[in-house]
Structures are given as structure tokens and as C-alpha cells.
Amino acid sequence: MKDVSAKSDNFQTSLIMNQAEQSLIQVGGVFTVECIDASGNLKWTEEFRNLVVNQGLNSMNNVYFYYSSTSQITTWYMGLMSSVTTGVAATDTLASHSGWSEFSSYSGSRPSISWASSTTANPSVITSSARSFSITGTGTVEGAFVCSVASGTSGVLFSAKTFSASRNVVNGDTLNVTYSLSNAAA
């Protein structure tokens, strides 16, 4: 008689990594612009999402998390763009933005932004009241931006974006610009 024996080993292994829940944040905004002529008639409107540039993102992080070196910016301003060649780049700063120029044919300096309280939902949205630009000459407006100074280039460029198309303005027009900023857990 012959003895028969069979042996076998069987094992299974698996490795599951990165099971922790991740939380990401997205920051973005929307400009809404309306052009009113000297007679009070609506000429055109434009609504567009912006690019929060690297300088703006860095400013948020430095103020919110890196307390020791950066002071909170308590007043923000709106500006208008013209002479757009390549548009807005993530690397643009207020001092260096080769793809566009500032439109300045309006009375006064860049208007300061007045914010309403942010929403408590996800996304959390904070919206400005409309800021008015009283146009003092004929020209072409091609976008808008948010920055930390009323004039000059020494401040922080937070966000900017071009319109879908160039828009002509004339002396007597008023541009009313609203900006909504959204922070969302993604």
C-alpha cells in the first residue's frame, strides 16, 4: 500500500494605503460687471470666474497660518484691465503682469471693497457690494482684478481675470463691479 499525502500552503495579503479622509480647499471668485451709459441705460453685462494668483494664495496662507511675518490686509480694492495680450497668469503680481495693463480712465483711485458677512455653508461665500467706476474717457475694458492698494504696484494682487470679449466704454459710462469669493471643501 502506498501512502499519498498532499500538502499546500495558501495565503493572501493586501495592503490598503491612504484610507484617511482628505480635505482639500478650492478658492475662487466671480466678477459681475454692468455698464450703464450716461442716460442710465444698461449697455452690457459680463460675469466671469477669476484666477486667484499665486501671490494671492500665498498672502492667504501667510496671514491665516504664518502669523509672525505677515499682517492681515484689512482693505481690498478693485481695478480694471485693458491692453490684454496673453491674459492673466498664476505668476502675475501687482508689480509684474506682462499679459495685461491697468485701465485707468475713470475718476478717483481704485475703489475699496465693502464685504457682506460670509455664508456659513460649504462653500462659504463672501460678496462685495457693487463698486462704481465713473468712466472719464473713451477706451476698452478687458477684465478686472482685486488687490491690496488703492494705487500703484506695491501691494498684493489677489485675483484677476479677463472678460470673454473686449468692451468699449465712453466718457459718462459707469461700470458697477461686484466680486464674490468662495472657499469650498473639495
pLDDT in tens, the chain (186 residues): 555 545 544 455 454 555 556 667 788 899 999 999 999 999 999 999 988 998 988 888 888 777 656 778 889 999 999 999 998 999 999 999 999 999 999 999 999 999 888 888 888 888 899 999 999 999 999 999 999 999 999 999 999 999 999 999 999 999 999 999 888 876
Grouping H, G, I as helix, E, B as strand and the rest as coil, residue 52 is strand
Contacts of 157 (CB under 8 A, 6+ apart): 53, 55, 56, 92, 93, 94, 97, 145, 146, 147
Domain boundaries along the sequence of the chain: 42-185
The model's pTM: 0.83
The phi and psi torsions of 19 (rounded to 5 degrees) equal -85, -10
